Structure 1
Amino acid sequence: MTQSRRMLVLRAVVEDYIRSQEPVGSTSLTKQHHLGVSSATIRNDMAALEDEGYLIQPHTSAGRVPTEKGYRYFVDRLATVVPLSEAQRRGINSFLSGSVSLTDALQRSARLLSEITGQVAVVASPSLAKATLRHVEMVPVAMTTLLAVVITDSGRVAQHGLGVSAMPPTDAVARLSNAVNEQCNGLSLSRSAETVRAIGSSVGYEDVRAVAESLADAFESMALDERANELYMSGASRLAHTQSVADLAPLFDALEEQVVLMKLMSNLSEETNASGVGVSIGSENHSPELLHASVVSSGYGRAAAARDADGEQDGDESSVGDTSGSADEPIAFVGSIGPTHMDYAATMAAVKAVARYLTAFVRDGLA
C-alpha cells in the first residue's frame, strides 16, 4: 500500500463527500474513480486513513467522512486555485462594473460572492490604518472650525473637524493645503502627520501653525484606526436553506461578533497560501461558533495588485511613495464562510476572482 495511493483515496473521499454530503464507501469510490485497485484494497486504505485521523466512520455500517485533518490535507494540496471560466469572469466583471463608488462595489461584491458560493460572503472596506494619502481639502464651516476632507489611495473619504481659536486668512489655508498635497501624496497617514507638523513649524506658515497641528492630530487618529470601517455581508438567508438549525445558530452568533470575525478574516487574508487565498477549518478558527465552519479569505488592494490571475506580476507597484510597509500587505479582505464540507476549490476561486476585481477597482482609482 503506497502513501501516494492512499492520499488519492483521501482526495476522492473528500471530493465525493463535498458533492453528496453522504458517508462515502469503498464500493462507490471504485465506481466513481479510476484508482486501479479493488474495492477491498480501497477499504483497507480507508481504514488506514481512519487510523491516521484523516477520516471518521460515523456509524459501524456506514462509509467514511473527512475529518478536519482530512479537509486540511485536501486544501493544502490545492496548490493552485483553478481560475474561473471565461464566462464566469465576464459575469463577475459585468455585475461589478456598474459600481458607482467604493461602497457600491463592496456591496455588489458581497452579493455576487454569496450567489456564486451559496454561502455567507463578507467584504471589508479598507482600513484607514493601511491607507496612504491622496488628497486633502480644508473648508471653513464655522467661525472657529475647518472641515478637513481626506481622500486616501483606497478611495475612502474621511472628514475631520479642525478647531482653531481664530480663523486664519483664506490664502494661508490654501497655501498649507497645497503644501500638504505636494509633500504628503503617497505617504502613510503617520508619515503625513510628521510632514504636516514640519510644514507648520517652517517659515511662512506661522498663521496656520495651529491648523497644521490639528490636521496632524487628525492624521494620527486615522493611522491608529486598525478597524476596517464596515463589513458588508450577504448570503445568510441562502445558507439557512442548506444547513441544519443546530449548525446555523452558532454561526449566526459568530456573524454578530463582527470585531472577532474581522480579526480572523483579516489575519487569514495576510497568511495565505501560494495562490493568495487563506483557508481556516473548524477549530483553526479559534471560535466555538465557527467550530463546524470553514473560512476562506483573500486580501485585496496594493499587495494583491502585484499579481495577475496566474500569479504573475502586473507591473511595478513600488513607486507610489512611502507606505511604511503597507505595500506588502492587503488593505482589506474579501471572504466566504460556510460548512466544513464546502466546495473548497470553487469557493477559493470565487474569493480570489472577486478580490482581484476589487484590487483593480481600488488601483485604477475608480472609487
Structure 2
Amino acid sequence: MLDDRKSSILRAVVEEYIRTAQPVGSAHVAERAGLPVSSATIRNEMSALERDGYLVQPHTSAGRIPTDRGYRFFVDHLAPKGQLQPAQSQQVRTFFSSTHGELERMLADTSRLLSALTDYAAVVVGPSHELAYVRSVQLVGLGGRVALAVVVLSNGTVEKRSIEMVEETNDVTLSAASVHLTKSLTGTVWGAPAPVAPTGDLAVDGLVARAIGSFGADDAQGGTDNVFVGGASRMAVAFDAVETIRQVLGILEQQVVVVGLISDILDRGLSVSIGAEHGVPSLADCSVIVAPYDVEGERAGSIGILGPTRMDYQQALAAVAVVSKRLGRALSEGA
C-alpha cells in the first residue's frame, strides 16, 4: 500500500496522462494534487514510485507515465466511482425502450451502443446454450416439403432449423406436431437428448422425428458463442502505433480468443484486466473491462470494452455496469 502523499501523486499522474497522453512532470502534479510540499519533494516521491514499479520515465528528462501496476492501484484504490452523463443515461434508456426483435440484432445493436458511450471497441458475448432450456417449439410450413422449426429458449435465444419432409404436410399435422414437441420438450436442456413418446399418428410422429433430428444434427456441430463487436474502427483513434491497431483488430476477429479472454477475466473475479494481466502479448497495451448479464437470475452472457491502458476507467466501468444490467433486464422481460 502507498501512503497518502504517494497515492495523491500517483492519482494525479494517472488522471493527467489519461487526459493528455503526454508524460507528466512534477509541475503538473503539484498543480493537480494540491500538495503543500515543494517540487523537489514531489520529484523525489515520483522517483520512489518509479522504483516501486508504479511509474516509468519513457525518455530521459521527460515526465512519468503509469505502468500496468500504477493503473491497477489507481483502479483498485484511487478511482472514484464513475457515472454516466445525463445525456448518456437518456441514450441508454431510449435504446432499451425501443429495441425489440431477434436476440442477435439486439446484441449487435448493444455492442454499438456501448462503443458509442465509451469510444472504445465493445464486445457482447451471446447467451450460451449450455444451461438453456426449451420454452416452446413451433413448426411453420414454408411450402412444398419444407418446414421451419422455431425453438424459443430460456436465455432469450430463438433457434431456427429447416426441415425437409418426405411429402407435403398440411397445417393440421404441423400444428399437432408443434403441440406435441412443446409438451414433450418444454423444460428440457437444449442440446441434451430428450426422448419423445409417439402419438400414434404416423404423419405427426414422422414430422416430430425429423424436427428432433434437425436439432441434434445442428447441435452436434458445436461452434463458438455468438460474439458481436461494435466500434472496432475506433481502435485507429485509441492507439498511436499502426502495428498495435493491426494486432488488436486481429484479436477482435478471433471469436474463440475473445470469448476465452472475457471468461478468464470473469473467472478470476475481476472486472478490469490491464496490460500484461491478460496473458495475451498482442493486447499488452490494452485494458479490458467486462461484466456478466443475467436472464431471469441466471448468468446468460457477458459484455466488455477493449481500449488503451490509458482509458477513462471511471466512465468505462459505469457504462459497462449500466448496459449489462439493462441488457439482462430487457432479455428477462422478453423471455
Q: CA deviation at 1:32?
A: 0.9
Q: Is structure 2 residue 61 aligned with structure 1 residue 61?
A: yes
Q: How far apart, CA to CA, are the structure 1 residues paired with 2:172 and 2:95? A: 45
Q: CA deviation at 1:19?
A: 1.3
CA contact (8 A) 1:282 1:294 kept: yes
Q: Tell me which moved more, 164-173 or 121-130.
A: 164-173
CA contact (8 A) 1:200 1:212 kept: no
- Structure 2 counterparts to residues 23-38 of structure 1, below 5 A: 23-38=23-38
Q: Is structure 2 residue 255 aligned with structure 1 residue 262?
A: no
Match of 1:360 among 313, 329, 333: 329
Query: Which residue does the alignment assign to 1:155?
Result: 156
Letter in 1 for 2:136: H
SS at match of 2:334: coil
Query: Which residue does the alignment assign to 2:237?
Result: 241
Letter in 2 for 1:351: V
**Structure 2: where are the runs of 5+ without partners?**
none
Match of 2:307 among 325, 338, 349: 338
- Structure 2 counterparts to residues 86-125 of structure 1, below 5 A: 86-101=86-101, 102-125=103-126
Q: TM-score scaled by structure 1? A: 0.76
Q: Tell me which moved more, 176-185 or 161-170.
A: 161-170
Q: CA deviation at 1:365?
A: 0.4
SS at match of 2:24: coil
Q: Is structure 2 residue 296 aligned with structure 1 residue 290?
A: no
For residues 221-254 of structure 1, give each alpha carbon's deviation from its aligned partner in whole angstroms, at most 9, with x where no partner exists: 5487452234232241x33234322431222222
For residues 128-183 of structure 1, give each alpha carbon's deviation from its aligned partner in whole angstroms, at most 9, with x where no partner exists: 34533222112355777653211223433222234666788976664453244245
SS at match of 1:59: coil
Q: CA deviation at 1:117?
A: 1.5
Q: CA deviation at 1:354?
A: 1.7
Letter in 2 for 1:89: S
Q: How many residues align?
A: 332
CA contact (8 A) 2:139 2:149 kept: yes
CA contact (8 A) 1:144 1:164 kept: yes
SS at match of 1:58: coil
Q: TM-score scaled by structure 2? A: 0.83
What is the percent sequence identity of the aligned residues?
A: 35
SS at match of 2:182: helix
For residues 257-313 of structure 1, give each alpha carbon's deviation from its aligned partner in whole angstroms, at most 9, with x where no partner exists: 23322322344355544xxxx2222222232321211112222232xxxxxxxxxxx
For residues 39-87 of structure 1, give each alpha carbon's deviation from its aligned partner in whole angstroms, at most 9, with x where no partner exists: 3333222222211211111122112111112112222336885332444
- Structure 2 counterparts to residues 167-206 of structure 1, below 5 A: 174-182=175-183, 184-190=185-191, 193-194=193-194, 197=195, 199-200=196-197
**Structure 1: where are the runs of 5+ without partners?**
303-316, 319-326
Q: How far apart, CA to CA, are the structure 1 residues paired with 2:87 and 2:249? A: 33
1:80–1:166 CA distance, 2 compared to 1 (3 A): farther
Q: Tell me which moved more, 147-156 or 176-185.
A: 176-185
CA contact (8 A) 1:270 1:299 kept: no
